[in-house]
């Protein structure tokens, strides 16, 4: 906790107002699970983001230390720490964006679904807090299994009467980041110039890279397509195995989470043409949730784009993805309505 929260509050407000006058508002962002492997680098990168005026760091352990540490960085955002359930409501009140990387990560041999039993309850509790304290905030959900935690969050918000599908986004940016990197490697390009749409969901075969829609336009041999699709689908497992029991992707995930959060904030600010992939409520397929490109605006995911033309390989992949996704979505919904 900061030594003089009232003084910090008024100075944060002054700064926010000052930015607003200059046409660039500062947003209030909360990270739930901020002391974790993803949470810490994510908090640091958000502290460096000029669109953030206030940064709330909530966790059930260690958030005071992370907060004290980051609060010494000479960047604009004011950082405040919140520890444990009794402080959840204070952490959430007034937030514009809530990023949730709380929960346990995978160990070697585990699927993301193996995390369900622990993380489902964590996400439920945190989303009940969001519904009560900042029902209009945009929510970026990172906790796995995303294919189930997003439906869980939706059911919690429905029960609370606050559900707005546009404001609930499952973060699949790491799949896109990995796809851009691996495709750039194969093509011999700078990864910053490559854009690969990744649709479906965020686990195994539900991660469906659309290699036929890569920008800049290019083509792949069947072997390259097979190699890239497998590597993108198993990128998370590659990291889990390399870390050998010490967790899953944290640094690349924090990078991806900030890329996505920054896009959400630019959308909130009113910037035009902000498009990212995310796992959202969707009518693109017969499933109630699906990851595709979405346009981010003042209300969140204001437009959900269609899949576009798929080749035969992708059509087969889509059917596999939908089959697994249907079960994961149903499992999430059933967890709340049991």
- Residue of minimal CB distance from ligand NAI? 36
The gap between the terminal CA atoms of the chain, to the nearest Å, is: 38
Task: Provide the strand spans (E) within 105-197.
Answer: 138-141, 168-170
Cα torsion 49, 50, 52, 57: sign: positive
Cβ-based nearer residue to ligand NAI, 41 or 267:
41
Is-contact 332 315, C-beta < 8 A? no
Annotated binding-site ranges: 33-39, 59, 106, 112, 119, 142-144, 178, 253
Asked if 60 is part of the footprint of ligand NAI (rule: CB under 6 A), the reply reads: yes
Which listed range, 2-10, 221-229, 243-251, 315-323, lies at the site for ligand NAI (CB under 6 A)? 243-251
Q: Which of 32, 77, 198, 263 binds ligand NAI (CB under 6 A)?
A: 32
Residues with Cβ within 8 Å of 45's Cβ and at least 6 positions away in sequence, in order, are: 254, 255, 258
Of 202, 231, 293, 322, which one is the catalytic site residue? 202
Q: Which is nearer to ligand NAI, 248 or 285 (CB)?
A: 248
State in angstroms the smallest separation of the CB of 9 from ligand NAI: 23
Lay out the site mask for ligand NAI across 138-157 (x = CB under 6 A, - = otherwise).
----xxx-x-----------
Among 21-29, 57-65, 184-192, 314-322, which window interacts with ligand NAI (CB under 6 A)?
Answer: 57-65
User: Which parts of 152-181 interact with ligand NAI (CB under 6 A)?
Assistant: 171, 174
Instruction: Show binding-site residues for NAD(+).
Output: 33-39, 59, 119, 142-144, 253
* Per-residue exposure over 280-299, b if at least 16 CB sit within 10 Å of its own CB, e if not: bbbebbebbbbbbbbbbbee
Is 179 within 8 Å of 232 (Cβ atoms)?
A: yes
Instruction: Kindly tell me which of 236 and 300 has the beta carbon lying closer to ligand NAI.
Output: 236
Closest CA to 300 of 126, 185, 184, 135: 135
Q: Are 144 and 202 in contact (CB under 8 A)?
A: yes
Binders of ligand NAI among residues 3 to 22 (CB under 6 A) are none
Q: How far is the CB of 336 from ligand NAI (least distance, A)?
A: 16
Out of 248, 282, 292, 328, the residue judged to bind ligand NAI by CB under 6 A: 248
202 is catalytic: yes
Residues 6 or more apart whose CB falls under 8 angstroms from that of 250 comprise 36, 37, 38, 41, 105
Minimum gap (Å) between residue 97 Cβ and ligand NAI: 16
Alpha carbons 290 and 228: distance in angstroms, whole number? 21
Beta bridge partners of 275: 295
What letter would DSSP give residue 166?
A: G
Residue in 57, 98, 102, 294 binding ligand NAI, rule: CB under 6 A: 102
Residue-by-residue DSSP string for 202-228 = SSGGGEEE-GGG-BS-----HHHHHHH
**Which residues would be at the binding site for ligand NAI (CB under 6 A)?**
32-33, 35-39, 59-61, 101-106, 115, 119, 122, 125-126, 142-144, 146, 171, 174, 202, 247-250, 253
Q: Which residues are catalytic?
A: 202
């Amino acid at each position: 906790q900061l030594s003089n929260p009232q003084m910090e509050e008024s100075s944060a407000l002054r700064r926010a107002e000052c930015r607003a006058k200059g046409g660039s508002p500062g947003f209030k962002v909360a990270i739930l699970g901020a002391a974790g492997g993803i949470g810490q680098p994510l908090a640091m990168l958000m502290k460096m983001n000029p669109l953030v005026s206030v940064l709330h760091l909530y966790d059930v352990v260690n958030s005071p230390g992370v907060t004290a540490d980051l609060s010494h960085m000479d960047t604009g955002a004011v950082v405040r720490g919140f520890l444990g359930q009794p402080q959840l409501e204070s952490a959430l009140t007034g937030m514009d964006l809530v990023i949730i990387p709380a929960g346990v990560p995978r160990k070697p041999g585990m699927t993301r679904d193996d995390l369900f039993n622990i993380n489902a309850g964590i996400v439920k509790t945190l989303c009940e807090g969001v519904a009560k304290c900042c029902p209009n905030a945009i929510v970026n959900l990172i906790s796995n299994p995303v294919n189930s935690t997003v439906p869980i969050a939706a059911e919690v918000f429905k029960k609370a009467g606050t559900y707005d599908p546009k404001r609930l986004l499952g973060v699949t940016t790491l799949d896109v980041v990995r796809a851009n990197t691996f495709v750039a490697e194969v093509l011999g390009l700078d990864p910053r110039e490559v854009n690969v749409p990744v649709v479906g969901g965020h686990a195994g075969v539900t991660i469906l890279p659309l290699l036929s829609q890569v920008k800049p336009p290019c083509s792949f041999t069947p072997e390259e397509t097979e190699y890239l699709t497998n590597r993108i689908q198993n990128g998370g497992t590659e990291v889990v195995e390399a870390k050998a029991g010490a967790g899953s992707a944290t640094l690349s995930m924090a990078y991806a989470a900030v890329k996505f959060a920054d896009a959400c904030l630019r959308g909130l600010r009113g910037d035009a043409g902000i498009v990212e992939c995310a796992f959202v409520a969707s009518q693109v397929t017969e499933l109630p949730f699906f990851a595709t490109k979405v346009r981010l605006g003042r209300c969140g995911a204001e437009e959900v784009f269609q899949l576009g033309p798929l080749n035969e390989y992708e059509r087969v992949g889509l059917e596999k993805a939908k089959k697994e996704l249907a079960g994961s979505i149903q499992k999430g919904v059933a967890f709340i309505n049991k």
